[in-house]
């Protein structure tokens, strides 16, 4: 649950603002002459979340959809819409700075739903994996294969 609380932090709330998302793009492999520049990625709601194996991994701070394997001609907004059509951030009709407090709170509520769903699904996956392993141990024990 600690990971989940990180997603509710002020640090993550700062990601509503373009400038803060843009700052995450240090070492991004695509620059000028590409559709997926750091500027376009940040405008589409993505933050750069590289790993050792995938230096081009980006995640929407809002819906938590992660995408990798970017090509220079990929349009971040179109990719975001096609992979996460339910994302409320990409569907915004005005900038965050122009939202009323009520609109922002509704948006934040939707973001929390994505966070809760992601972490619940991860917990369910871990539980299912652990139960498969335990079941295997029980079957081996019952058959005297220890």
Question: In this predicted model, what pLDDT tens digit does every residue of 28-74 receive, in sequence order?
Answer: 999 888 999 999 999 999 999 998 888 999 999 999 999 999 999 99
**pLDDT at residue 1, rounded to an integer:** 42
Residue 41: CATH number of its domain: 1.10.1170.10
Q: How far is the C-alpha of 36 from the C-alpha of 70, rounded, in Å?
A: 8
Number of domains the chain is built from: 1
Q: What percent of the chain has pLDDT over 70?
A: 90
Q: What residues are paired with 66 via a beta bridge?
A: 59
Give the 3-state secondary structure of residue 61: coil
Closest CA to 3 of 142, 123, 93: 123
Residue 107 has a pLDDT of 92
Kindly give, in sequence order, each residue whose CB lies less than 8 Å from that of residue 132, ignoring residues fewer than 6 positions away. none
At 33 the pLDDT is 87
Q: Which residues pair with 46 in a beta bridge?
A: 60
3-state secondary structure of 91: coil
Its pTM stands at 0.76
Which pLDDT belongs to residue 2? 45
> 3-state class of 105 per DSSP?
helix
Q: Which pLDDT score, from 0 to 100, does residue 18 have?
A: 95
Token pair 């917990």 is found at 123
Residue 31 in tokens? 């620059």
Residue scoring higher pLDDT (91 or 1): 91
Contact by Cβ (8 Å): 58, 44: no
Containing domain of residue 23, as a range? Answer: 2-142
> Comparing C-alpha atoms, which of 80, 114, 84, 122 is closest to residue 12?
114
pLDDT in tens, 74-130: 999 999 999 999 999 999 988 888 999 999 999 999 999 988 998 999 999 999 999
Q: What pLDDT, on the 0 to 100 scale, is given for residue 19?
A: 96
> What is the model's pLDDT at position 10?
66
């Amino acid at each position: 649950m600690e990971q989940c609380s990180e997603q509710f932090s002020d640090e993550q709330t700062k990601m509503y603002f373009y400038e803060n998302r843009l700052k995450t793009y240090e070492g991004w492999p695509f620059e000028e002459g590409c559709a997926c520049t750091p500027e376009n990625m940040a405008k589409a709601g993505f933050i750069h979340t590289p790993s050792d194996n995938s230096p081009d991994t980006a995640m929407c701070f809002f819906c938590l959809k992660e995408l990798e394997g970017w090509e220079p001609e990929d349009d971040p907004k179109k990719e975001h819409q096609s992979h996460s059509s339910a994302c409320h951030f990409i569907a915004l009709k005005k900038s965050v700075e122009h939202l009323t407090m009520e609109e922002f709170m509704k948006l934040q509520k939707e973001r929390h739903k994505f966070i809760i769903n992601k972490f619940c699904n991860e917990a369910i996956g871990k539980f299912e994996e652990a139960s498969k392993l335990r079941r295997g141990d029980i079957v081996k024990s019952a058959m005297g294969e220890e």
